[in-house]
Structure 1
Amino acid sequence: MIQFKLEGEFIPLIQLLKATGLVGSGGDAQTVVEDGLVKCNGEVDFRKRLKVRVGDIITYNNNKIEVI
């Protein structure tokens, strides 16, 4: 599991995927979200601008990101 330390109130989902290195670019991040490959707290979420907050668990490609 990847732990990501949040430095503000939230981070947009696309930026989180880029910041953790799970995708190579913003375009790649948008594509995987639009294709339904990303889960937020166990539910598929298609919102590219989803505000990820402390306590959320993001799952993509057998990787889990815990936002702390």
Structure 2
Amino acid sequence: MADPIVAVIAFDGISPFHLSVPCLVFGTDRTRLGLPRFDFRVCAMEEGPIHTDAGLTIAVPHG
């Protein structure tokens, strides 16, 4: 069976903190702890860079 897909939507002006939380929860392999594995993806309306409210630029691989 395929791993469940979890996608977070990134957008211009997003807080890096709010983007990082789902990355930490679903993007880290914790199967050795008996937890499920997820196919985690960061998505946006279009593939390419987005700009956070902290001035960071993030390359979003899934549009």
- TM-score normalised by length of structure 2: 0.26
- TM-score normalised by length of structure 1: 0.24
